[in-house]
Structure 1
Amino acid sequence: MILPIVAYGAPVLREVSQDITPDYPDLQKLLDNMWETMYASSGVGLAAPQINKPIRLFVVDSEQIINNLEEDEENLYPGDHGIKQVFINAKIVETEGDDWAYNEGCLSIPKIREDVYRPEKVKIKYLDENFQPHVRTFHGITARVIFHEYDHIEGKLFIDYLKPLKKRMIKGKLEDISKGKIRVDYKMVFPK
């Protein structure tokens, strides 16, 4: 089932999410719905707060990005083959490498894209959908998507990384989003 995406301004997007346990109700159904919602919205990642659930859960499919690179872009992310992965109760262990810019967007903040600087690599510990523990290091565009989704479970948004002038320049657009004065081709729910 395709779920509505929570728009900028909703309090859940600013909450630090809670860990879940294996007995979380209907977890597999929730995961199926999150994947379906993400793909229906043309996303490459989706965090539970974006569907109004303040839990430490997100999904990432960076394979889509890697598989759709143009021929002249194939060397942009060497060694990054992309992933399709569920992250439960994730915690960043360490980051490394130089910060690099990428033009990020967010399903909860539609029609706004800005360059955000993030480290090259992220080491993260997490549970998969079977609650099996993992500690892995990701790099390239996959690390980028993980950083972005991880921020959601920490109550952060990509716009928090923008310089004050950029934030002032997009303030009106953000207000329009929070008031529902925007049209998108996926289901959204706006703050009241």
Structure 2
Amino acid sequence: MEPGTWLLSAAAVLLVLLLAWTTFTLTRLRRLAGRVRRAREVLDAALLRRAELTAALARERTDDLGADLAGDLADAAAGARAPSAGDREAAENHLGRLLRRVPDPVLSPELGDAGMRVALARRFYNDAVRDTHALRRGRLSRVLRLHAGRPLPRYFDIDDGLDAVLAGSPHAGGPRPRG
């Protein structure tokens, strides 16, 4: 074979490898976008459940909580269900801070479970976002502008006791993490 044939063959092999990698990466990006979307839906459902349980706690245990804390909890739960300024993270952080003020005997096990589910859902969502960011920020992905027209998903950062979940605390992720 002549050197030109070798060079043409090598270029063809490189082109096929680049096309295979591009196809694989686009498929992976599409799957990650679906994973982010599904994880966000689960996170939203977990946050809504925690807000509903908090509102119920404020309604049903007003005597045990005190009028001020019960009113604050009811307002925070309403704000978390429909944030006024559109800042869901701030509303959820406010709700979490108020839940930490609730005495242990007043907390329901369902509310603790809802807090754990929020922490886990947030972790899964942020893991999917991290994987998407890592794949889209790769050198070839940027050069080939794969998914360049789609916005990068945002992390969802709230103080929900996730560190306690990772450490294996018995109150992990619930409204009771104390640090």
Please identify which structure carries the higher helix content: 2
TM-score by length of 2: 0.27
Larger-gyration structure (1/2):
2
TM-score by length of 1: 0.26
Please identify which structure carries the higher strand content: 1
* Structure possessing the higher relative contact order (Cα contacts under 8 Å, 6 or more residues apart): 1
